[in-house]
Copies of this chain bind each other. A is one copy, B any other.
Amino acid sequence: MSPRPMVRPGGRSARVQESVHAAVRELVGEVGRDALTVPMVATRAGVTPSTIYRRWGDLQELLSDVAVERLRPETDPADLGSLRADLDAWAEQFLDEMASPPGRAYIRDALLGDPDGTNAGQCSAYAAEQIDVVLARAVQRGEPVPETELLIDRVVAPIMYRILFRPGRLDAAYARELVTNAVYAQQVEAGARPTQAAAPRRSKKKTDN
């Protein structure tokens, strides 16, 4: 009945985990991601290779863990006084970080060594949290707000799709354009609905509002 020794978050295990993660970060900077090997990381971390193999399975899963940590947003989105301004600023920063060479590398790594999708889900959750902060502030101000799902589909998804699948350039103007369209869609949905084809997104109640 004793709760769960399932994982041991403290003590030596924690130290090992931290030192291994640190070793990865250092070595990625020094020799590059491609030259990384498990034995190399183990040596730098002062650990035996078998420890890493047992805890992470392989290099990809380890890199995935490290990548997710680095993709975690460190601060809340800035408060610029309006939903539109907050979203613009957040989307621009999001695009910048994700589309940068290191950002792309982290995304790839996060997806790569992630058999069950846990890490990928975490990335998605980070973005959703940031958006929720912005939306909550807008609600406080009394502004009408779109649903988080809409913003993920219209802003986050296109950015990530282009990063992963298309070589082309991504700039701030594109991010703003996506925000414009998303916000406009929400306005249409909330207010005038020109045609019946409007936008019954994720209808829990797609009646009128």
Contacts and interface: CB of A to CB of B under 8 A. Distances in A.
A194 B185 contact: no
Interface in A155-192: 156-158, 160-162, 164-167, 173, 177-178, 180-181, 183-185, 187-188, 192
In the assembly, how many copies of this chain are there?
Answer: 2
Interface residues of A, number: 42
A165 B123 contact: yes
Interface string A102-126: 0000001001100001001101100
A192 B158 CA distance: 25
A199 interface: yes
A120 B108 CA distance: 12
Interface of A: 108, 111-112, 117, 120-121, 123-124, 152-154, 156-158, 160-162, 164-167, 173, 177-178, 180-181, 183-185, 187-188, 192, 194-195, 197-203, 206
18 contacts: A108-B111, A111-B111, A117-B165, A120-B164, A124-B165, A124-B166, A154-B158, A156-B161, A157-B158, A157-B161, A160-B164, A164-B164, A173-B206, A177-B201, A177-B203, A181-B199, A184-B195, A192-B194
